[in-house]
Structure 1
Amino acid sequence: MPSDSVVIAWGAGEDGQLGIGNIEEREWICQVKALQDYSVSSVVGGSRNSLALCDDGKLFTWGWNQRGTLGKPPETKTETVPSQVKALGNVKIVQAAIGGWHCLAVDDQGRTYAWGGNEYGQCGEDPEKDETGRLLRRDIVVPQRCAPKLKVRQVAAGGTHSVVLTREGHQIFVPVRVQGPEKVRLIAVGAFHNLALEEDGTLWAWGNNEYGQLGTGDTQPRSQPIRVQGLSGLTLADIAAGGWHSTALTNEGEVYGWGRGEHGRLGFGDDKSSKMLPQKVQLLAGEDIVQMSCGGTHSVALTRDGRIFSFGRGDHGRLGIGRKVTTGHPMEVPINLPPPKTVSEDEEENAEGSWRANLIACGGRHTLAIVKWSPDNSNNNNENNTE
């Protein structure tokens, strides 16, 4: 990773999911130093583990491995520092996802790979059953090809299911194609529900709906995609799904949230009730949000100028604000790191600039982000203006 860009983490760490070499939780951000020499392009948070993807296609995993979710031998229960998934070392991985206890990845040729728990067929293989028809636990500990007949551009993993988006814009809810949405641009998967954003801006949802996370105005589950209500007239740029809540982001940087509101994960301040229809997160109005990420019980927002806001359940330090407070009011996460090593020791004390985030990723009870050093050129600009 370039010396002016680093991976940071905060929150629960009991399975090593922060990647900092121990199982401590952190209430403030900390640097994942094992990745500092790699050019990390994206990070993903799972329920109890994490992964990082590099520009050259290398995939690193860390955290909980008891179902083979790290793509490592099962005798390795947890890993507290990132290490490369050697089984994928000969391909260039361009995107990846973590579910409840399985992982998915897609390479630059559109080939998909899966590993981890497969008792529900979430790794793309028919689950095995005993003589009574009961599903048998089967773990796939070495990444293997899945959906081999498809050319894929995005994978998404839920609690015990998987969805892939083909290059033609079709969704495959492994192992069958999802009927309804066409020309899908993005997919997002929560614990037990799914979102699909079409190129024309139409948002579809299906799956579990007990807290209104499908945005249909009711709590009835749907086995087929149904349009999310309350977003007409908006141009959507991005979507995100958490454990039992959902968010949508407009081109204008406005955030809409719906689903389970307990602990304030929707960002509606003191109103922690669940919402069956999307509502604008007024407390983020004017912040120009460019990315949202949803965890199990918390949410994180990224602004265009690189600031991070978090809200929701605060125990285990998952909000990154230095105290274990639960709040529905978005709070800015301080990015307190020293200047990068490109700044000499003599210059460090007077170095001017700040760390700005360019990507965020919520896990179950932790969060990851990539931050880049942005020098303050105001002095140079002032000097130029006086010439």
Structure 2
Amino acid sequence: MGELGIPDTTAVSSMVAPVRLNTLPPLNSIATDGYGYQLGVARDGTVWEWGSRPGYVRETQVPRALRGLSGISQVTTLQKYSFGLGSDGSVKAWMKDQKSGDSSQPISVKGLRNIVQLQSASDYICALDSAGSVWRFTVNTSDNQLHFSVPVRIQGLPALKQISTQHAYDAYGVDRSGKVWKWSSIQASSGTEKLYVKPVSIQPSLQVQNVYASIGYMLLVSRQGEVWMYDGKPGRSAVKVKGLQRIVSASAGDTHRLAVDAKGQVYGWGANNWNEVGVPRNAGDGMEYAPVPIQRPITIRINGSLLPASFPAVNKNNSIIVPVKSIAKQLGGSLEATTTQEGTAYRLQYGQTTVTFRPGSAEAAIQGRSMALSGPVSMINGAVMVPSSLFKQLGCQVDWNPSLAELSIQGK
């Protein structure tokens, strides 16, 4: 769970629903290295990091701002290095100490101007400039310092508006007419500082807005908002993903995929052994063969402030199930577990009121008096979850706003 950047979840292996990182400011873009480390660009141009700490098993870095970075519009990151695109079209780079997890002071990458997009894979970086040209350079470290090759322009490509890379040999781009191109095995021309490639057109009949590459396949988002999958094999055509429309962005993982529509609804499909699709794993093979909408993130406010919970609320049959320990703590209460011959029981202390309940039961006892709950107590991702209506029965004001997906609890 270190990759989520959430504290107090080291004994948990997956999450069944989105969890809000309350300490992150509003972000314009995010990037991941594919191994649990994330970067985000805030609206003020600062860069934030969170997720897995290098060299530490199951430890996490909670969100924090990186020093020395401002005026950034986009980021991309590898396991050891990260790059930021300045609002002026410049490129900055920094590296991460693999022992401490701290980032070095950013330095400028020379030889690049008017850059509008960055992509990284392995130890090389592609940069797209405002004229539609693609530049390529490599990065390495020695003596604890970053070293770059001289950025060179890739010759033979049409003017592109978007690029996507997955590994050091294959890259993809969309030209201004909506045609997708693939190029690979880049070779330097002898005696020059130019790279020559022979791009291949992919699915020329399809007008594409963006392409998202992964290992062995790619996602194509058309100008009409449809999603197509293409495995790149000769003689094969792209296959339309059914059930998706008005898609504006997508992400292609190794074994699962995500897409976002114009209303902000996220859909996932593919391998879901660790809930990576965004829904609970099914009891069968763990696969989601068709896109499914993931639960909309639920915001919880306690006495007007965001709940700093490590576990998400879940909407089950229009009943909002919440992490009772986190909420009790914010209300000034406490939750304790006791073990009896009948199994584990929990005692919630809120002011002068004591509530006891057991996992799996839809009943609780307030001051020894039995009462029915709107749903059973459950254990989700290691957290004790109860219907939010329990706090209403304790005298709190509980309000649910379905349009905002926001739950508000006001203490008595």
Q: TM-score band, normalised by the shorter chain?
A: 0.5 to 0.7
* Mapping for residues 6-25 of structure 1, pairs under 5 Å: 13=1, 16-21=2-7, 22-23=9-10, 24=12, 25=14
Whole-Å separation in 2 of the counterparts to 1:159 and 1:110: 23
Secondary structure of residue in 2 paired with 1:17: helix
* Mapping for residues 190-339 of structure 1, pairs under 5 Å: 190-192=166-168, 193-207=170-184, 224-232=197-205, 234-259=206-231, 277-285=236-244, 287-323=245-281, 325-338=286-299
Whole-Å separation in 2 of the counterparts to 1:96 and 1:172: 16
Q: What's 1:72 paired with?
A: none
State whether residues 4 and 51 of structure 2, in contact with CA within 8 Å, keep that contact through their aligned partners in structure 1: yes
Relative to structure 1, the CA distance from residue 312 to residue 30 in structure 2 (aligned partners, 3 Å threshold; closer, same or farther) is: same
Q: What's 1:353 paired with?
A: 403
Secondary structure of residue in 2 paired with 1:86: coil
Deviation at 1:196, TM superposition (A): 1.2
1:39 aligns with 2:26: yes
* Mapping for residues 96-111 of structure 1, pairs under 5 Å: 96-111=75-90
Whole-Å separation in 2 of the counterparts to 1:164 and 1:152: 6
Deviation at 1:76, TM superposition (A): 12
* Mapping for residues 41-190 of structure 1, pairs under 5 Å: 41-48=28-35, 49-66=37-54, 79-88=60-69, 91-116=70-95, 141-174=104-137, 175-190=151-166
Secondary structure of residue in 2 paired with 1:240: strand
Whole-Å separation in 2 of the counterparts to 1:253 and 1:341: 38
Relative to structure 1, the CA distance from residue 55 to residue 83 in structure 2 (aligned partners, 3 Å threshold; closer, same or farther) is: same
State whether residues 4 and 60 of structure 2, in contact with CA within 8 Å, keep that contact through their aligned partners in structure 1: no
Bigger Rg, which one? 2
Q: Which amino acid aligns with 1:186?
A: Q
**Which string of whole-angstrom CA distances, capped at 9 and with x for unpartnered residues, describes residues 170-203 of structure 1?**
1102132111223211111113421111112221
Is there any run of 5+ residues in structure 2 with no aligned partner, and where? 97-101, 138-150, 186-194, 306-391, 407-412
Relative to structure 1, the CA distance from residue 340 to residue 204 in structure 2 (aligned partners, 3 Å threshold; closer, same or farther) is: farther
Computed over aligned residues only, the root mean square deviation of the Cα atoms, in angstroms, reads: 3.4
Deviation at 1:300, TM superposition (A): 0.3
**Which string of whole-angstrom CA distances, capped at 9 and with x for unpartnered residues, describes residues 138-172 of structure 1?**
x9944321144422111111133210011222110
Deviation at 1:246, TM superposition (A): 0.9
Deviation at 1:293, TM superposition (A): 0.9
Relative to structure 1, the CA distance from residue 206 to residue 340 in structure 2 (aligned partners, 3 Å threshold; closer, same or farther) is: farther
Question: What TM-score do you get using the length of structure 2 for normalisation?
Answer: 0.61
Give the total of aligned pairs: 283
Whole-Å separation in 2 of the counterparts to 1:76 and 1:281: 40
Relative to structure 1, the CA distance from residue 338 to residue 151 in structure 2 (aligned partners, 3 Å threshold; closer, same or farther) is: closer
Whole-Å separation in 2 of the counterparts to 1:144 and 1:77: 30
Q: Which has the higher contact order (CA 8 A, sep 6+)?
A: 1
Whole-Å separation in 1 of the counterparts to 2:234 and 2:400: 48
Relative to structure 1, the CA distance from residue 170 to residue 336 in structure 2 (aligned partners, 3 Å threshold; closer, same or farther) is: closer
State whether residues 300 and 309 of structure 1, in contact with CA within 8 Å, keep that contact through their aligned partners in structure 2: yes
Relative to structure 1, the CA distance from residue 336 to residue 169 in structure 2 (aligned partners, 3 Å threshold; closer, same or farther) is: closer
Secondary structure of residue in 2 paired with 1:95: strand
Deviation at 1:301, TM superposition (A): 0.9
Whole-Å separation in 2 of the counterparts to 1:100 and 1:231: 35
Relative to structure 1, the CA distance from residue 147 to residue 243 in structure 2 (aligned partners, 3 Å threshold; closer, same or farther) is: farther
Is there any run of 5+ residues in structure 1 with no aligned partner, and where? 1-12, 68-74, 118-138, 209-221, 261-273, 356-372, 374-387
Q: Which amino acid aligns with 2:250?
A: M
State whether residues 110 and 152 of structure 1, in contact with CA within 8 Å, keep that contact through their aligned partners in structure 2: yes
Whole-Å separation in 2 of the counterparts to 1:203 and 1:20: 38
Whole-Å separation in 2 of the counterparts to 1:185 and 1:308: 25
